[in-house]
């Protein structure tokens, strides 16, 4: 599958089958995550694979949507602020940008392997940090349910036109 077809095939899955994820597929996806670029190659991240009933139940306390509980596994993407690159001019911490790149690698690699994912950012990050006993320097940025979709239902993508997002020269007034 070429890259454009892969991007078109990726969507936010909100209903998962109970079929377990093969170790080889998970290893492949996480290798793609490991190879994601980051600012100054600092790789300011930790990824927690949550597949035990105990940890899954804790995560369901942090995000209480019914569909979320159908996932057989979650990947919690955490920013490590103790090693992230900070822009010299204004101190901007790039950990959130780096995590975003790595999580999109995860989502696209999972799609390529026939798995579904969904970015979840609207979870209770403070509760997640507490329930998982994360150290002070780690911030949970996203929780990504991953598994086989219960049904293949690739929705039509509703995106802005090229004219609305691409500018040449100065921005429109």
CA distances from 94 to 35, 87, 89, 103 (A): 17, 7, 13, 14
Q: Is the pLDDT of residue 83 over 60?
A: yes
Q: Is residue 166 part of a domain?
A: no
Report the domain count for the chain: 1
Q: What is the mean pLDDT of the chain?
A: 95
Q: Is the pLDDT of residue 171 over 70?
A: no
Q: Is the pLDDT of residue 152 over 90?
A: no
Q: Is residue 4 part of a domain?
A: no
Predicted confidence at residue 136, as pLDDT, reads 93
Note down the domain range covering 63.
15-148
String of DSSP letters for 26-80: HHHHHHHHHT---GGG---EEEEEE-SHHHHHHHHHHS--GGGGG-SEEEEEEEE
Q: Is residue 57 part of a domain?
A: yes
Predicted confidence at residue 172, as pLDDT, reads 56
114: pLDDT confidence band, cut at 50, 70 and 90? very high
> Among candidates 28, 25, 29, 17, which has minimal Cα distance to 147?
17
Q: Is the pLDDT of residue 169 over 80?
A: no
């Amino acid at each position: 599958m070429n890259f454009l077809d892969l991007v078109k095939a990726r969507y936010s899955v909100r209903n998962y089958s109970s079929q377990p994820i093969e170790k080889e597929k998970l290893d492949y996806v996480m290798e793609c995550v490991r190879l994601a670029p980051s600012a100054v190659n600092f790789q300011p991240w930790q990824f927690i694979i949550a597949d035990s009933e105990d940890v899954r139940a804790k995560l369901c306390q942090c995000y209480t949507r019914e569909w979320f509980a159908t996932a057989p596994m979650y990947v919690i993407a955490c920013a490590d602020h103790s090693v992230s690159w900070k822009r010299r001019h204004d101190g901007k911490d790039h950990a959130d940008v780096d995590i975003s790149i790595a999580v999109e690698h995860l989502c696209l690699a999972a799609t390529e392997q026939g798995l579904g994912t969904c970015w979840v950012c609207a979870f209770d990050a403070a509760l997640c940090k507490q329930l998982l006993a994360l150290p002070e320097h780690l911030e949970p940025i996203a929780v990504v349910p991953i598994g086989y979709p219960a049904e293949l239902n690739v929705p039509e993508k509703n995106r802005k036109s090229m004219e609305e997002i691409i500018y040449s020269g100065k921005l429109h007034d």
